[in-house]
């Protein structure tokens, strides 16, 4: 796509994605299982899988059958684990696509065991979302004995916090694994935050997620390179007089005569509405305040003291010159999680890839 003809776009640095995976794998000291669910956190699962495959990951993690099917149809042959619980009526598709379900429900385990295909056992150690509870393994273990799992895993709910919860979950995980009446193959539990705070990993496989896509969750030496940028073009520059309101409800009013730039990007593209009157964007290497409420398709900036013309590129996420707006920066201003920020980048924005033979 011709960038000169594009009103707004998401720019994805595949080279940074690969460097982040390499950095994480080196710290973890074990094979990695990159999580590329939710279309690689909004940045493109097929492209992510393509550039990560040469690193020879243990496999890839997805959330749904449909996500696994997309990768298989794109030619991905690596192991794929489906981490969200599957219903037995989905098992035919999972087997046909050679997907490996992560199960915890006794009935689902019993149904899958008749297929003699690999699967992983999820032990719930405190997330209370999915998996067999660590305190009540009985029925699930009985079902699993028929065809033991290839791997056993758990999920940390607060690995980014220094509140002792990870240690508590790990102790529960150890107790549960020790109580299993069959040989245990692979163990995996560490996500991005766990490895950032404690490396190397004590498990057999590590599961990097948001770290791959440029978001660090802990203030440690292990930090990722930014991957995603969100950019839009100025489509109008208009003069306002003192007292003029900007955008819905006129929540911003000019304190003097000035100039307002309108950028062709809004909350329907994934730029949070809550950034209005609170966030900054980058124009010609300078921080410019977002003015008024962010609308569905357009966002306004106060460019009174800055040169600006229609066609100029505005960066809402990413780097321009020496200035950088990280996913974490923008998410904090909007009051959302970095995960929500990335996955909210909408499909109507074209993705433009750079680096790593893009």
120 Cβ contact list (under 8 Å, min separation 6): 81, 100, 101, 102, 103, 149, 150, 151, 152, 153, 186
Q: Which of 213, 248, 339, 353 is catalytic?
A: 248
Q: Which of 37, 41, 267, 353 is catalytic?
A: 37
* Cβ(336)–Cβ(299) below 8 Å: no
Instruction: Tell me the HSE value of 92 on the side-chain side, using a 13 A CA sphere.
Output: 1
User: Radius of gyration (Cα) for the chain, nearest Å?
Assistant: 23
283 Cβ contact list (under 8 Å, min separation 6): 234, 261, 301, 303, 306, 308, 312, 314, 315, 320
Both structure tokens of 7: 């009103």
Give the C-alpha distances (Å, rounded to integers) separating 6 from 20, 169, 211, 283: 29, 48, 29, 17
Q: Is 248 a catalytic residue?
A: yes
- By C-alpha distance, which of 203, 77, 88, 93 is closest to 151? 203
The catalytic site residues sit at 37, 248
């Amino acid at each position: 796509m011709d960038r000169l003809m594009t009103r707004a776009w998401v720019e994805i640095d595949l080279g940074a994605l690969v460097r982040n995976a390499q950095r994480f794998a080196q710290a973890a000291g074990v094979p990695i299982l990159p999580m590329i669910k939710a279309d690689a956190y909004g940045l493109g699962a097929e492209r992510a899988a393509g550039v990560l495959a040469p690193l020879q990951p243990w496999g890839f993690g997805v959330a749904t059958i449909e996500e696994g099917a997309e990768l298989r149809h794109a030619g991905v042959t690596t192991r794929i684990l489906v981490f969200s619980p599957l219903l037995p009526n989905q098992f035919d598709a999972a087997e046909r696509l050679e997907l490996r379900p992560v199960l915890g429900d006794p009935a689902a385990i019993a149904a899958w065991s008749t297929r003699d295909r690999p699967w992983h056992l999820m032990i719930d150690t405190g997330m209370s979302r999915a998996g067999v509870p660590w305190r009540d393994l009985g029925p699930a273990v009985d079902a699993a004995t028929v065809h033991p799992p290839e791997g056993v895993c758990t999920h940390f709910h607060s690995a980014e916090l220094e509140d002792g919860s990870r240690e508590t979950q790990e102790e529960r995980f150890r107790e549960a694994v020790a109580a299993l009446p069959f040989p245990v193959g692979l163990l995996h539990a560490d996500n991005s935050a766990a490895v950032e705070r404690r490396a190397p990993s004590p498990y057999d496989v590590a599961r990097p997620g948001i770290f791959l896509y440029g978001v660090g969750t802990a203030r440690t030496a292990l930090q990722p390179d930014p991957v995603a940028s969100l950019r839009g073009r100025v489509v109008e520059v208009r003069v306002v007089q003192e007292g003029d309101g900007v955008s819905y409800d006129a929540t911003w009013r000019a304190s003097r005569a000035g100039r307002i730039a309108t950028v062709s990007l809004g909350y329907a593209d994934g730029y949070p509405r809550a950034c209005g009157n609170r966030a900054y964007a980058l124009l010609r290497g300078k921080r410019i305040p977002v003015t008024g409420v962010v609308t569905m398709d357009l966002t306004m900036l106060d460019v009174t003291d800055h040169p600006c013309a229609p066609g100029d590129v505005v960066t809402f996420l990413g780097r321009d010159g020496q200035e950088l707006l990280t996913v974490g920066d923008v998410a904090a201003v909007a009051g959302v999680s970095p995960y929500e920020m990335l996955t909210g980048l909408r499909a109507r924005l074209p993705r433009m890839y750079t680096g790593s033979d893009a």
